[in-house]
Amino acid sequence: MDAVEKANADRQRQWAKDQKIGEGAYAVVYRGREVATGRKVAIKKIKVGQFKDGLDMSAVREVKFLRELKHQNVIELLDVFSSKKNLNLVLEFLETDLELVIKDRSLVFLPADIKSWMAMTFRGLEFCHRNFILHRDLKSNNLLIAADGHLKIADFGLARDFADPGYKMTCQVITRWYRPPELLWGCRYYSSAVDIWSVGCIFAELMLRTPYLPGETDMDQLKTIFRALGTPSEDDWPGHSKLPDYVPVGQFPKTPLRDLFTAASSDCLNLLSKCLVYDPRRRISARAALDHPYFSALPYPSHPSKLPKPVKKEAAVSLEELDGNADGGGLDVRAGNPNKLKRKHSSDDLSRPVARRLDFS
């Protein structure tokens, strides 16, 4: 055994897998623990044998970016080791995810709670963008919640660096319901604005307690977006008709956000509208979003420890079964819900009040 193999074997012995809690096409997630301390961890085993040319590049990128990103609102990579030609990522163990919190109708959201979740999302994303990393798959079940209430961005399997603005990238990223229109029309040159659109969809989902723009196909997704926000004109988005996959989708009038988000404050709707601007060049940045008056106005964001959460959930690392045409459902690897498309509502803690209409005044 050479020095590298010995070092890997020593690392492997530090961790123990206890229970499989999810499986996708390319990885299996286990609940595990640190042998010396008993600390809970999540171990994501990448199925190397699935790929003809060795290790999937998404796994390489995930390791690379998580090693670079150390932030309280980004999931922490604790260790990496190989076993039987499989790559294992040891990640911090997190209690639940934002999707499960949103779907739990026994939980009541206050305006300050939503503000807190959004602040933590923008902080984590601003750190990613400051380090020239695009996430490219932001959605509510990739925002994990720790036991202390802190939100952490997870699942960097589709992440990419964007230091070179002229670099051509795939448009087949971001789960469809959170995918911006420029990608739906085949844009291959893009930057951080694609993540901001996704955050806008999550923002709306937090207020509505249901996905905001759930399209069935790429074409239906565009129609769903335009029905909600109006069909873009050349004034709204100069040059959009020149995108590679552009096809006219129909004319839909612009509906004021106030008509749907009736209880939201003016600052809240202003920030939401800046996230969902059609022209990517005019979309707000994560840094500018954190400086928006929404976050400094009353009520102030709730402390993470005070945020609502299900009574008890098994933890998991988000794992998405992506085939290049990602759908809105995704593969939820939390224990007890391995379905790809079914979005199961939690009914835990039924003693809590039933969710009421949000008051953002």
* Active-site residue set: 137
Tokens of 27: 């990885």
Distances in Å between the alpha carbon of 278 and those of 175, 289, 359? 18, 17, 28
Q: 41 near 32, Cβ under 8 Å? A: yes
Tokens of 245: 């996959």
d(CA 71, CA 133): 13
Strand order, beta sheet including 40-46:
15-23, 27-34, 40-46, 86-92, 77-83
Q: 252 near 225, Cβ under 8 Å? A: no
- Biggest CA–CA distance in the chain, Å, is 68
Q: How far apart are the first and last CA of the chain?
A: 66
Which residues have CB under 8 Å from 248's CB, separation 6+?
Answer: none
Q: How many other CB atoms are found less than 10 A from the CB of residue 184?
A: 21
Q: Are strands 27-34 and 15-23 parallel, antiparallel or unpaired?
A: antiparallel
Q: Which residues pair with 152 in a beta bridge?
A: 144
Angle formed at CA 128 by CA 173 and CA 145, multiple of 5 degrees: 85
Cα 330 from chain centre? 11
d(CA 300, CA 115): 8
Q: Name the residue with tokens 């933890």.
A: 315
d(CA 151, CA 335): 19
Q: How many other CB atoms are found less than 10 A from the CB of residue 271?
A: 25
Q: How many helices (H) and strands (E) does the chain have?
A: 10, 10
